[in-house]
Chain A
């Protein structure tokens, strides 16, 4: 049932999704959009994991997706807390206006 669609299709879709996420990380200035793009990239990797796991007939790949999701949840919580603290301190969420460490 699952092998009606070839594995390459899932991999290509995941590559496209990862590339779109990369564009977002590299071009947007808003820190929250950069977060969303990172989530897109994580989803692309998860899709690859699940694709390989299903075509291998093995559950371990899905387990790794589970761990990636828990790390993504931790990352989102910490990242948004940092963005909130940044907004409180500097009144901006644009990453190029935060240049305290640049000289």
Chain B
């Protein structure tokens, strides 16, 4: 067991435990802060996968942007009284159905991932990915890049319009 194994299993444990915390915790704010650790763990796995640009983008976009938005949403929509009459989950029937669907998805994914003999390229030497990604963005995927920019602009204008008090 070398350092890579230890780092991988550590981050994998963080990701799985905190993802379970997001889904199964009773308090809304606990879920939001568990999500922080999930994003952080996934960013660590990106670093382990040699994707430095994506790891930093993950921290800046997910933790710095989306998570802050979600925490604002939590604070703006929780009831002032704090007393929740009903439980936070659906009924027994929906639980059983969700369990069946989830089990099917899990079995399908795990069988598919573990049955295929994945091929991999010979390991490249460790270099930064920023230059390659920038070149691809400005040449081959330029249209997609512009469309993503316009999509973000439209989405933020629309979000401001929807959330505005009229």
| A interface residues, Cβ below 8 angstroms from B | 1-5, 7-13, 15-24, 26-30, 32-33, 35-37, 39-40, 43, 46-47, 50-51, 53-60, 62-63, 65-67, 69-78, 80-85, 87-88, 93-94, 96
Contact = CB atoms under 8 A, between A and B. Distances in A.
Contacts of B152: 70, 73-74
A73 B69 CA distance: 9
Contacts, number: 233
A24 B159 contact: no
B49 interface: yes
Given A15-B110, A59-B136, A62-B133, A37 B158 contact: no
A35 B148 CA distance: 21
Contact of B51 (A50, A69, A74, A88): A50
Interface in B107-166: 109-110, 113-114, 118, 120-124, 126, 129, 132-133, 136-137, 140-141, 144, 148, 151-152, 155-156, 158-160, 162-163, 165
Given A19-B102, A20-B23, A46-B42, A30 B28 contact: yes
Given A12-B114, A84-B76, A70 B124 contact: no
B54 A66 contact: yes
Contact of B73 (A10, A32, A43, A55): A32
A12 B116 CA distance: 12
Given A3-B120, A3-B123, A5-B5, A73 B42 contact: no
